Amino acid sequence: MTILDKLAAHAAERVETAKKRQSPEDARRLALELPKGEFEFERALKKDDIAFICECKKASPSKGVIAEDFPYLTIAREYEAAGADCISVLTEPEWFLGSDDYLREIAANVNIPCIRKDFTVDEYMIYEAKLLGAKAVLLICSILSAQQIKEYIAVCDELGLSALVEAHDEAELRTAVACGARVIGVNNRNLKDFSVDTGNSRRLRELAPSDVSFVSESGVRTAEDIQLLREAGVNAVLIGETLMRAADKKAKLRELKGQYD
């Protein structure tokens, strides 16, 4: 099994445990009782310049623990103050050391939209995301069938959430487009072997419709990287490790934006 297979399998186990605490019927009912979202996440990506999705991430399978000290609320507020457009919050507990509590608290304390960064394998996780305060969820083509992606986008639409549909190669990108994805993310890191190539986003951008919000994920480290993506027509970047390792996250984000003092 690849790490992605393990992540998906563990997510399925977590869902079954969660369903014992709260039934799918109750989760759906409670999610639908909340005010319908206004697709704030995808709206935040539609701007003249490249948008920044900044990630709160304690650890990863490829790097291990990234932040021993993890004051997630402080980090999220720093991101917002520095001009982040959205915040990505890891809730996967085993390999990323994430928590639903991180998302719940961050979403309640910032005024920019949050995406639940997890390995969605069941529509139940979409209702969870809504209840936690997320404005978007991640759908990964390599662990979902095309039918599942379509169904999960429909669930998101019903709740007013955005779906960031993640692809890694041309075939997956075409699947995302065919499923009606409005926001497509290209992961520059191959989760099967952890190799990183930011050129992946630039190549695949040409194959996606111009009206799709296109997000480059992973391996974006410098203002030069971002300029190349900007020139390729990429609409947003998702940045995790580079910001998490920076002692001054505000200064680092300004640097990545090309805003030097």
In the prediction, which pLDDT does 103 show?
A: 98
Contacts of 227 (CB under 8 A, 6+ apart): 258
Name the percent of the chain lying above pLDDT 90.
82
pLDDT of residue 260: 58
Q: 261: which 2 tokens?
A: 């003092």
Q: Are 74 and 99 in contact (CB under 8 A)?
A: no
Phi–psi pair at 51, nearest 5 degrees: -95, 155
Confidence (pLDDT) at 58: 95
Question: 62: pLDDT confidence band, cut at 50, 70 and 90?
Answer: confident
The whole-number pLDDT of residue 192 equals 66
pLDDT in tens, 82-136: 999 999 999 999 999 999 999 999 999 999 999 999 999 999 999 999 999 999 9
- pLDDT at position 18, please? 98
Taking the whole predicted model, whether its pTM rises above 0.85 is answered as yes
The answer to whether 145 is a known catalytic residue is: no
Residue 217 annotated to the active site: yes
What residues have CB less than 8 Å from 39, skipping those under 6 apart? 135, 160, 161, 162
pLDDT of residue 179: 98
Q: Which residue would you say has higher pLDDT here, 17 or 260? A: 17
**Angle, CA 222 vertex, CA 229 and CA 236 arms, to 5°:** 40
Q: Note the pLDDT of residue 198.
A: 77
Residue 35 to residue 199: CA distance in whole angstroms = 40
| 187 classed as catalytic | yes
Catalytic residue among 42, 78, 92, 217: 217
* Domain that residue 105 falls in: 3-257
Instruction: Provide the mean pLDDT of the chain.
Output: 94
Give catalytic status of residue 42 as yes or no.
no
Cα 59 to Cα 209: distance, rounded to the nearest angstrom: 33
Total number of domains in the chain: 1
Of the listed 60, 188, 218, 235, which one is catalytic?
A: 218
Residues 86, 257 contacting (CB under 8 angstroms): no
Who has greater pLDDT, 249 or 134?
134
State in Å, rounded, how far the first CA of the chain is from the last one.
47
β-bridge partners, 164:
138, 183
Active-site annotation holds for 38: no
Q: Is 250 a catalytic residue?
A: no
**Interval 185-231: pLDDT, tens:** 998 877 667 777 878 898 999 999 999 999 999 888 899 999 999 99
Is-catalytic flag, 57? yes
Average pLDDT over residues 7-22: 97
pLDDT reading at 180 higher than 80: yes
Residues 6+ apart with CB under 8 A from 82: 249, 250, 253, 254
Q: DSSP letter for 192, please.
A: T
Catalytic residue among 117, 130, 135, 252: 117
137 close to 164: Cβ distance less than 8 angstroms: yes
| Domain containing residue 57: CATH number | 3.20.20.70
Q: Can you tell me the mean pLDDT for 148-158?
A: 98
Which one is catalytic: 166, 201, 241, 252?
A: 166
